[in-house]
């Protein structure tokens, strides 16, 4: 109950008021008593003179009166005459005339019985002792705690000695103090009431903004940064509220930035080609991106670490690594080669293992192809080089070679050199196409004319081989955009192959037409054909179905790969077409217009 600031404030106010009133009350009451005692002795002094001596005029006349026979009565008269100055009243302050030697009651403002009820006070004893010893000391010391005030004046006149004893029972001061106490208690009650009201008011002004701040903090804790708390004062709480609002807005900005970063990472995680899986410390999957399932060929969320990678790297081994250490290995899954990297991502209970999978299938394949290519090039060049060298050596070492044999050797050397030049030229063309350095000189030209010129060029060779060259295409072929000489090179290669790989006396058909936005050209022969398993591969570099026959006919195995590169650069396609019967059909498709910039419109 007293935990709330509100109650604490009320309690503090109550304690403050009560202690204040208690101090004021005690101080007041002590002061009043002190004042009353001072007043008493001042009155006594004004009548009897200085307390240390009894040499005042009134005391002298008292002594004279005391010397007379009815001294006690005389003294009484004298005292009565100064009753006003002495503040005597029969209720609280009385006087008694006592016998100086015995201390017996002689007369007074009260009767003997009343005097006998009084105790013997130190002042009375002092006065009696002073008379006995012949001195005249006034006993007038009074204690604030004594509960009474008194003064005893020894009066000696002639043989007579008396003690004038004035006794005040302090009832007046007690009554005054009771009155004061009552007033203080009443004041205390009113003060308490006011302090309760005040503390309520004060706490309202102090606590309301604090309560509002608390509500605001609760809203922020719940993630609602939209509402700011109104600042209604410039005091410390006002400053705190402003600071809180600033803090909330900075927090919102920071959270937004963090959220943005997280979204970026999420998007990256979702779309990255590398597979990423995070495992918890018990080996279960925390996160995984779609690439992982794709690479491993199964939905990984149904598995745990041990099932996925446990055989290669035990979980505890990876967990015991110190960051940034990691382990790596290679997996082969469904014909894919995957590089696997495993590392712990954090220490302790909340830690786990992060696995990254990198698909290196294409890279490995490229490397393989590159190696194969280099081996092929070396092989293709070595054969003619060996031939050239051996014929050259024979010519050098043999002295009497017949002239016609020498010529035939030299012819072989020349043809092998041509072959090598041919290979090197083809390789250069391919490398230019690969690196994008081979510019296509795009022009508009009649498609039909290009086919015609290719057919004319091979006509003689076809005739020599006894082939029948059939041009099936009609006159209605459009103008197309492309690099004319390179496209003619492609056509030449395809028609040349048909002639080369068809036994003498075959039939080679050339057809062309339009489909949609494209033109097509088909070259069919009834030659040796291409076995099913080789059909996909004949566009690869140096790939030949029958190496001996290709080499014999001067082929390099690069013709179709160059053709494919050129056609692709024209956004077209080149492929084998299935057809009935023996032989081969190659189909080239080219767009009529090229979309690319820089198209040259020379016609
Ligand atoms: P090459 O210089 O050896 O002719 P190509 O790249 O032009 O090289 O052809 C690759 C291989 O495809 C040839 O070696 C040949 O085995 C096969 N080929 C191409 N065209 C035909 C065809 N019309 N008939 C049969 N085989 C063919």
Interval 199-227: pLDDT, tens: 888 877 878 888 888 888 898 888 888 77
Token pair recorded at residue 120: 């013997």
pLDDT of residue 2: 53
301 and 388 belong to one structural domain:
no
385 and 518 belong to one structural domain:
no
The answer to the question of residue 145 being in a domain is yes
The answer to the question of residue 14 being in a domain is no
- For the chain, the domain total comes to 5
234 and 319 belong to one structural domain:
no
Which has the minimum average pLDDT: 135-139, 247-251, 342-346, 501-505? 135-139
139 and 63 belong to one structural domain:
yes
The answer to the question of residue 44 being in a domain is no
Interval 53-72: pLDDT, tens: 555 788 888 888 888 888 88
Contact 416, 441 (CB under 8 A): no
Interval 571-586: pLDDT, tens: 999 999 987 678 999 9
Give the CA distances from residue 344 to residues 105, 187, 311, 317, 320, in Å, rounded to whole numbers and listed in that order: 112, 76, 17, 10, 8
Question: Can you give the residue range of the structural domain that contains 318?
Answer: 272-359
pLDDT of residue 140: 65
What is the CATH classification number for the domain harbouring 581?
3.30.565.10
The answer to the question of residue 493 being in a domain is yes
458, 497, 543, best to mutate for ligand 1 pocket (most atoms within 8 Å of CB): 497
What is the CATH classification number for the domain harbouring 238?
1.10.8
264 and 313 belong to one structural domain:
no
Nearest CA to ligand 1 atom 2: 555
292 and 378 belong to one structural domain:
no
- SS3 readout for 253-287: HHHHHHHHHHHHHHHHHHHCCCEEEEEECCCCEEE
54 and 164 belong to one structural domain:
yes
pLDDT of residue 488: 96
Q: From the centroid of its chain, how far is CA 476? A: 71
The answer to the question of residue 67 being in a domain is yes
pLDDT of residue 372: 87
Residues enclosing ligand 1, CB less than 6 A?
493, 497-498, 501, 525, 527-530, 538, 543-546, 550, 555-561, 584
Q: Which residues of 59-91 are buried (b: 16+ CB within 10 A; e: fewer)?
A: beebbebbeeeebbebbbebbeebeeebbbeee
The answer to the question of residue 408 being in a domain is yes
- Read off the pLDDT band of 501 (50, 70, 90): very high
The answer to the question of residue 181 being in a domain is no
Q: How far apart are CA 519 and CA 447, in angstroms?
A: 8
Closest atom, ligand 1, to C-alpha of 502: 24
pLDDT of residue 126: 85
- Read off the pLDDT band of 350 (50, 70, 90): confident
556, 560, 567, 584, best to mutate for ligand 1 pocket (most atoms within 8 Å of CB): 560
What is the CATH classification number for the domain harbouring 136?
3.30.450
Which helix (H) or strand (E) segment holds residue 5: the answer is helix 5-48
277 and 222 belong to one structural domain:
no
Give mean pLDDT, residues 266-285: 91
What is the CATH classification number for the domain harbouring 323?
3.30.450.20
- Read off the pLDDT band of 52 (50, 70, 90): low
The answer to the question of residue 406 being in a domain is yes
Ligand 1 centroid to residue 543 C-alpha, Å: 8
Q: How far apart are CA 71 and CA 174, in angstroms?
A: 35
- Read off the pLDDT band of 278 (50, 70, 90): very high
Which has the minimum average pLDDT: 346-360, 410-424, 564-578? 346-360
Choose the final residue of a domain: 325, 359, 393.
359
Nearest CA to ligand 1 atom 7: 559
pLDDT of residue 53: 52
Percent of the chain with pLDDT over 70: 95
pLDDT of residue 413: 94
Q: Which residue has the tokens 């398993």?
A: 533
279 and 354 belong to one structural domain:
yes
68 and 141 belong to one structural domain:
yes
Choose the final residue of a domain: 435, 465, 488.
435
Give mean pLDDT, residues 365-393: 90
Give the CA distances from residue 353 to residues 276, 277, 284, 294, in Å, rounded to whole numbers and listed in that order: 11, 8, 10, 20
pLDDT of residue 224: 84
Q: How many residues does the chain have?
A: 603
Q: What angle, rounded to 10 degrees, do the helices at 171-221 and 5-48 form?
A: 160
Choose the final residue of a domain: 242, 268, 294.
268
Q: Is 80 exceeded by the pLDDT of residue 5?
A: no
Q: Is 90 exceeded by the pLDDT of residue 358?
A: yes
- Read off the pLDDT band of 516 (50, 70, 90): very high
Nearest CA to ligand 1 atom 14: 544
Give mean pLDDT, residues 483-494: 95
Q: Is 60 exceeded by the pLDDT of residue 340?
A: yes
Give mean pLDDT, residues 7-28: 87
pLDDT of residue 599: 45
Nearest CA to ligand 1 atom 13: 544
Give mean pLDDT, residues 489-509: 95
Ligand 1 centroid to residue 108 C-alpha, Å: 162
pLDDT of residue 598: 47
449 and 594 belong to one structural domain:
yes
pLDDT of residue 600: 44
Question: In this predicted model, which residue has the larger pLDDT, 210 or 495?
Answer: 495
What is the CATH classification number for the domain harbouring 382?
1.10.287.130
Average pLDDT, the chain: 87
pLDDT of residue 95: 92
Q: How far apart are CA 155 and CA 62, in angstroms?
A: 7
Nearest CA to ligand 1 atom 19: 497
544, 579, 584, 586, best to mutate for ligand 1 pocket (most atoms within 8 Å of CB): 544
515 and 594 belong to one structural domain:
yes
Interval 519-546: pLDDT, tens: 999 999 999 999 988 888 899 988 888 8
């Amino acid at each position: 109950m007293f935990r709330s600031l509100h109650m604490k404030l009320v309690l503090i106010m109550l304690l403050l008021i009560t202690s204040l009133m208690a101090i004021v009350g005690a101080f007041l009451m002590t002061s009043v008593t002190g004042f009353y005692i001072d007043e008493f002795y001042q009155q006594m002094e004004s009548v009897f003179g200085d307390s240390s001596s009894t040499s005042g005029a009134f005391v002298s006349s008292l002594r004279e009166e005391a010397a007379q026979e009815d001294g006690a009565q005389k003294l009484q008269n004298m005292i009565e005459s100064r009753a006003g100055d002495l503040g005597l009243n029969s209720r609280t302050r009385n006087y008694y005339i006592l016998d100086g030697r015995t201390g017996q009651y002689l007369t007074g403002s009260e009767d003997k019985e009343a005097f006998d009820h009084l105790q013997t006070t130190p002042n009375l004893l002092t006065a009696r002792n002073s008379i006995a010893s012949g001195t005249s000391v006034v006993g007038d010391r009074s204690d604030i705690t004594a509960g009474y005030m008194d003064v005893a004046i020894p009066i000696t006149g002639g043989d007579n000695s008396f003690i004038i004893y004035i006794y005040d029972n302090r009832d007046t001061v007690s009554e005054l103090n009771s009155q004061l106490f009552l007033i203080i208690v009443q004041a205390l009650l009113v003060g308490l009431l006011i302090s309760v009201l005040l503390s309520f008011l004060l706490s309202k002004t102090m606590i309301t903004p604090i309560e509002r701040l608390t509500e605001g903090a609760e809203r922020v804790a719940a993630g609602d940064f939209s509402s700011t708390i109104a600042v209604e004062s410039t005091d410390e709480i006002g400053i705190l509220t402003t600071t809180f609002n600033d803090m909330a807005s900075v927090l919102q900005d920071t959270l937004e930035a963090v959220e943005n970063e997280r979204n970026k990472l999420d998007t990256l995680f979702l779309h990255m080609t590398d597979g990423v899986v995070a495992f918890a410390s018990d080996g279960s999957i925390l996160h995984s991106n779609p690439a992982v399932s794709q690479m491993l060929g199964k939905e990984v969320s149904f598995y745990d670490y041990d099932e996925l990678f446990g055989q290669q790297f035990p979980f505890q081994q990876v967990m015991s690594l110190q960051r940034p250490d990691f382990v790596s290995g290679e997996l082969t899954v469904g014909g894919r080669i995957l590089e696997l990297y495993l590392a712990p991502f954090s220490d302790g209970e909340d830690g786990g293992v992060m696995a990254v999978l990198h698909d290196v299938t294409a890279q490995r394949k490229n490397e393989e192809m590159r190696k194969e290519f280099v081996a092929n090039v070396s092989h293709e060049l070595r054969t003619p080089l060996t031939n050239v060298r051996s014929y050259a050596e024979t010519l050098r070492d043999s002295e009497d070679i017949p002239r016609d044999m020498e010529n035939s050797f030299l012819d072989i050397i020349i043809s092998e050199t041509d072959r090598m030049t041919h290979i090197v030229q083809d390789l250069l063309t391919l490398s230019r196409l690969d690196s994008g350095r081979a510019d296509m000189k795009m022009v508009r030209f009649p498609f039909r004319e290009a086919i015609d010129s290719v057919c004319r060029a091979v006509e003689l060779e076809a005739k020599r081989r006894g082939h029948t060259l059939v041009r099936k295409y009609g006159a209605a072929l459009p103008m197309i955009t492309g690099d004319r000489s390179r496209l003619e090179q492609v056509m030449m290669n395809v028609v040349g192959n048909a002639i080369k790989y068809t036994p003498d006396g075959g039939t080679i058909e050339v057809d062309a037409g339009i489909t949609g936005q494209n033109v097509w050209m088909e070259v069919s022969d009834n030659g040796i054909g291409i076995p099913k398993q080789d059909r996909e591969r004949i566009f690869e570099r140096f790939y030949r179905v029958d190496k001996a026959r290709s080499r014999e006919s001067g082929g390099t195995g690069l013709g179709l790969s160059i053709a494919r590169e050129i056609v692709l650069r024209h956004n077209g396609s080149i492929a084998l077409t299935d057809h009935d019967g023996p032989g081969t059909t190659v189909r080239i498709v080219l767009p009529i217009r090229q979309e690319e910039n820089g198209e040259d419109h020379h016609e």
